[in-house]
């Protein structure tokens, strides 16, 4: 007799049925029946934890960003514009992130769409970091090559981690997903702030290259946990042509196409950050420990921004929230000219305090709308091509960021901002801050409210529980 075990009244009124259910549960646990583990959320929780650990690879990316700047600035004597150009080369794998995501969705490796790609990505990050960190000196071509392969490995890890997040959040409400995302980002932000400051401290006692060697413990950990990812069985092997057809079809849907262009437009605005790095190290003589402290506090300010959205601004419309935060970002960005002109010192505010305040306020404003953007990107991912679609959306942002770096490099040359010469830095800051307001004109491309459901609810996976009905 088939029994519906959702009916608690029937179970508790019939001791025989209750005993049969307990025996069935015990037998299924003994043979590790996957339907039981999915129904209890065991695999979902495990994958959520793994996705948080995968995000620590991005921590390595942040920790290594300061040593990378010092390597190119001090070892190779690159100007700010040339450093931006080379950085764009090392970030090229991020621009083809969608290709790796499509491979993960369509080309399983030994029957796995996630764990083996994570193993390959983390091993690539590990080997690249060792090749950068072991030698005392290395040519610029070799360093750039290993940094590019390092970015390739990080991209593969992110593809897997983001796919796990999308799969986990598919059946969650916006409130549930907001809580989960907030908890996940809280975890990573605390690690970000700790590791960023640690990175600055490490450079006080070891060379910039040795930081890569020390930080290689993170991809080692991710490589070791990659076999623990649990994946559902797929009804049929993915057909590459069908997968590509679905991806193109959904990418052309206005509900997806317009937010994708919006991500691109918001990212393409140039940023004076690297020019400010040269100014702070050469004119203000900020040391690596101080820069690490600034970035650490900046990361914590981002955490406050995420908490503020979850508590105070969750009911604000997305378009209004983005417009307001964009105005704040532009305003706080233009305040950097106060630091360049040293007006803050005349007002009795030390350069260090003012630099920390501006960095914190910028990060706070940016993170205010990060969670709704994450929910949009998750809701626009149809099942079966979730990794490909999610990466397509964020690849638009990475392409925009790459174009932004080249615009920034060209602008620095036009305004005469070179290594040791910062006469044109103030007008450059004013121009870039004004351009940051332009994306407000494209705010109509995103929905007014955060969508509650995914754009497609078709099922690719065959629920094992439906095949293992108990009688």
Domain-wise residue ranges, the chain: 32-467
Contacts of residue 406, Cβ cutoff 8 Å, sequence gap at least 6:
84, 85, 88
Q: How many residues does the chain have?
A: 471
Angle at 104 between CA 100 and CA 108, to 5 degrees: 140
What is the residue-averaged pLDDT of the chain? Answer: 75
pLDDT digits (tens, 9 = 90+) for 428-467: 999 999 999 998 998 888 887 766 555 554 433 333 333 3
Tell me, what's the pLDDT at 397?
A: 81
What's the pTM?
A: 0.68
pLDDT digits (tens, 9 = 90+) for 181-198: 666 666 666 666 676 677
Cα gap 436→91, rounded to integer Å: 22
Contacts of residue 50, Cβ cutoff 8 Å, sequence gap at least 6:
164, 225, 228, 229
Residue that wins the pLDDT comparison between 22 and 161 = 161
Tell me, what's the pLDDT at 29?
A: 35
Q: Which CATH class is domain 32-467?
A: mainly alpha
The DSSP-derived string for 376-396 is HHHHT--TTSHHHHHHHHHHH
| Mean pLDDT of the region 308-335 | 87
| Mean pLDDT of the region 337-349 | 88
């Amino acid at each position: 007799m088939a029994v519906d075990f959702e009916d608690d009244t029937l179970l508790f009124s019939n001791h025989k049925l209750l005993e049969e259910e307990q025996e069935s549960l015990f037998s299924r646990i003994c043979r590790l029946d996957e339907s039981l583990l999915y129904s209890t959320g065991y695999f979902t929780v495990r994958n959520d934890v793994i996705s948080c650990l995968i995000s620590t690879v991005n921590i390595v990316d942040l920790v290594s960003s300061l040593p990378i700047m010092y390597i190119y600035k001090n070892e190779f004597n690159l100007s700010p514009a040339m450093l931006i150009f080379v950085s764009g080369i090392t970030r090229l794998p991020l621009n083809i992130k969608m290709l790796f995501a499509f491979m993960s969705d369509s080309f399983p490796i030994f029957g796995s769409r996630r764990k083996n790609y994570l193993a390959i990505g983390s091993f690539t990050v590990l080997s690249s970091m060792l090749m950068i960190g072991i030698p005392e000196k290395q040519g610029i071509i070799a360093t750039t090559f290993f940094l590019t392969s390092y970015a390739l490995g990080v991209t593969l890890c992110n593809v897997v981690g983001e796919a796990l997040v999308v799969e986990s959040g598919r059946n969650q409400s916006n409130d549930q997903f907001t809580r989960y995302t907030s908890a996940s980002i809280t975890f990573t932000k605390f690690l970000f702030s700790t590791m960023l400051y640690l990175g600055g401290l490490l450079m006080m006692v070891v060379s910039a290259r040795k930081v890569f060697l020390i930080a290689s413990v993170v991809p080692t950990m991710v490589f070791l946990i990659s076999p623990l990812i649990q994946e559902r069985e797929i009804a049929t092997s993915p057909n590459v042509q069908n997968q590509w057809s679905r991806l193109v079809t959904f990418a052309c849907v206005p509900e997806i196409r317009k937010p994708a262009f919006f991500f691109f437009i918001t990212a393409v605005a140039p940023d004076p950050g690297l020019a400010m790095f040269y100014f702070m190290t050469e004119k203000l003589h900020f040391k690596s420990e101080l820069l690490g402290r600034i970035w650490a506090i900046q990361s914590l300010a981002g955490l406050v921004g995420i908490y503020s959205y979850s508590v105070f601004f969750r009911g604000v419309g997305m378009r209004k929230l983005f417009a307001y935060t964009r105005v704040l970002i532009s305003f706080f960005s233009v305040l950097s000219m106060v630091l360049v002109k040293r007006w803050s010192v005349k007002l009795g505010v030390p350069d260090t305090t003012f630099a920390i305040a501006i960095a914190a306020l910028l990060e706070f404003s940016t993170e205010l709308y990060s969670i709704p953007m994450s929910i949009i990107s998750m809701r626009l991912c149809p099942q079966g091509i979730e990794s490909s679609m999610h990466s397509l959306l964020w690849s638009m942002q990475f392409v925009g960021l790459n174009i932004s770096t080249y615009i920034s490099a060209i602008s620095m040359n036009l305004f005469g901002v070179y290594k040791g010469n910062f006469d044109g830095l103030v007008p450059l800051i004013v121009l870039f801050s004004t351009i940051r307001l332009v994306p407000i004109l494209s705010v109509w491309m995103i929905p007014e409210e955060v969508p509650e459901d995914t754009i497609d609810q078709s099922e690719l996976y065959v629920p094992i529980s439906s095949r293992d009905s108990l009688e």
